[in-house]
Chains A and B, each alone.
Chain A
Amino acid sequence: MIRLAPLAALCLSSTTLLAQLPADLARERAAYAEWLATAANSPYLAVAQQPIGPGLRIGPAGSDLPLEGVPEQRITQQGAIVALEGPGGRRVLPRHRPVTLGRFTVVAGGTPGRGVLAVFAPREHRETPAYYPHSPTVVFEGPLVPADTPRTLRILAPDGVDVEATEAGTVVVPIGGVATSLRVMRIPDPGTGESELEIFFRDGTNGRGTYPAGRFVSLVPAGPGRWRLDFNRARNPFCAYSTAYACPAPWRGNAIPIPVEAGERYEAK
Chain B
Amino acid sequence: MRLISLLLAGSLLGATASPASRAPAAPAGSWRAVLDLAGGPLRFTLEITGAGTRLAGRICNGERCEPVSGVRLRGDSLDIEIADYAATIRARIDGDSLSGLYRNVGNRGPRVIPIRAARGRWPVERAPAGMLGRWDATFTTDGRTSPRVIELRNGPRGMEGTFIANTGDYGHFWGRAAADSFSLSHFDGSFVYMITGRLDGDTLRGIFHAGLRTQTLWTAVRSTGRQHLRRPTEMTQADTTAPFRFAFPDLSGRMVTNEDPRFRGKVVLVDVFGTWCPTCHEAAPMLTRLWRDYHARGLEIVGLAYEVSGDSAVDGALVRRYREKFAVPFPLLLAGINDVEAAAQTLPQLTGFTSFPTSIFLGRDGRVRRVHAGFYGPSTGTMHEAQVADFRRMIEQLLDER
Instruction: Report which A residues bind B (CB closer than 8 A).
Output: 24, 27-28, 31-32, 34-35, 39, 41, 78-82, 91-97, 99, 107, 109, 112, 118, 146-147, 149-150, 157-159, 166-169, 186, 189-197, 218, 220-222, 224, 238
Contact = CB atoms under 8 A, between A and B. Distances in A.
Q: SS class of chain B's interface: helix, strand, loop or mixed? A: mixed
Contacts, number: 107
B110 A193 contact: no
A191 B107 CA distance: 10
B124 interface: no
B310 to A, nearest CB: 4
Nearest to A34: B110
A42 to B, nearest CB: 9
A35 B109 contact: yes
Nearest to A98: B107
Interface stretch (B126-134, B173-181, B334-342, B387-395): B334-342
B308 interface: yes
Given A24-B114, A79-B345, A93-B310, 4 more contacts: A32-B110, A81-B346, A146-B142, A150-B144
Given A81-B342, A147-B143, A196-B213, A221 B38 contact: yes
Nearest to A96: B107
B112 A27 contact: yes
Contacts of B111: 192
Interface in B335-393: 336-339, 341-342, 344-346
B108 A80 contact: no
B146 interface: no
Contacts of B210: 192-194
A180 to B, nearest CB: 22
A99 B315 CA distance: 14
A147 B142 contact: yes
Interface stretch (B98-106, B147-155, B220-228): B98-106
A114 to B, nearest CB: 12
Contact of B142 (A95, A99, A107, A186): A186
B313 to A, nearest CB: 10
Contacts of A97: 308-309
B345 A189 contact: no
